[in-house]
């Protein structure tokens, strides 16, 4: 979301994520807070509900959730539509699609706060019996599986972490591109990756879950061991 651009979305998470991805400002809480305030201003001018008052956005920015606010739903129509629409195959759309799917399920419905999204490492995520859990000194957040592989949050997390693992262990971006380009689209009949026993390299545990990636899908060399 760009300040000064007309706001047409009334979905809080979509407005916030759009701004994050557009500016690459994930991790800058102050900048995000200013952006949400600007988005609220445009929504109010258009007589829309202010996204900044959403429990999801307040939690993402580390702000207290307003008393009496509705509970976060497990799966909304908007989230389901996003998971259906984001690609997990083909270079480079599959790269960013996998990242965004993981980002969506960790923030909603798991509810991982914004500041933890920006700082969590791969080693803080465990996968047991198809349930992905993010654990930090301040708490734990769970991503529950879904019978439909397209909507399965644990599969979305697993699929992205495997790409991060490739970036750490294979070094060559061409290897990552080839793996994603040859992968199949996620369908209802696709296998559940969250049930796999495949493990990640030990070096990957120290890498951020959402490290910086340029528009060409290239990863910083400082990831590599």
Mean pLDDT by 10-residue block, N- to C-terminus, for the chain (225 residues)? 37 56 54 67 66 62 52 70 90 91 88 86 93 87 90 95 91 85 91 93 93 69 47
CA distance 92 to 215: 9
Could you tell me the pTM of the whole model? 0.66
Q: Do 104 and 83 fall within a single domain?
A: yes
Q: Do 63 and 116 fall within a single domain?
A: no
**Which residues span the domain enclosing 34?**
1-72
pLDDT number for residue 190: 94
Give the count of domains, the chain.
2
| Domain finish residue from 18, 43, 72 | 72
pLDDT number for residue 1: 32
CA distance 192 to 194: 5
Closest CA to 98 of 4, 10, 179, 41: 179
Q: Do 82 and 161 fall within a single domain?
A: yes
pLDDT number for residue 79: 87
């Amino acid at each position: 979301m760009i300040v000064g651009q007309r706001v047409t979305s009334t979905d809080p998470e979509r407005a916030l994520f759009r701004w994050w991805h557009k500016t690459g400002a994930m991790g800058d809480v102050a900048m995000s807070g200013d952006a949400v305030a600007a988005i609220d201003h445009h929504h109010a001018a258009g007589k829309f509900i202010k996204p900044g008052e959403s429990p999801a956005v307040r939690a993402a920015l580390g702000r207290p959730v307003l008393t009496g606010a509705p509970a976060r739903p497990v799966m909304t129509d908007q989230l389901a539509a996003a998971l259906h629409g984001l690609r997990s195959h083909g270079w480079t759309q599959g790269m960013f699609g996998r990242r965004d799917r993981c980002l969506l399920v960790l923030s909603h419905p798991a509810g991982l706060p914004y500041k933890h999204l920006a700082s969590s490492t791969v080693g803080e995520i465990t996968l047991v019996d198809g349930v992905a859990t993010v654990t930090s000194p301040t708490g734990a957040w769970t991503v529950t599986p879904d019978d439909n592989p397209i909507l399965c949050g644990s599969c979305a997390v697993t699929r992205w972490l495997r790409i991060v693992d490739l970036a750490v262990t294979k070094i060559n971006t061409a290897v990552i591109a080839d793996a994603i380009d040859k992968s199949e689209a996620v369908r209802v009949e696709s296998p559940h990756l969250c049930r796999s026993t495949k493990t990640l390299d030990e070096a990957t545990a120290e890498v951020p879950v959402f490290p910086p990636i340029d528009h060409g899908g290239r990863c910083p060399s400082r990831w590599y061991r």
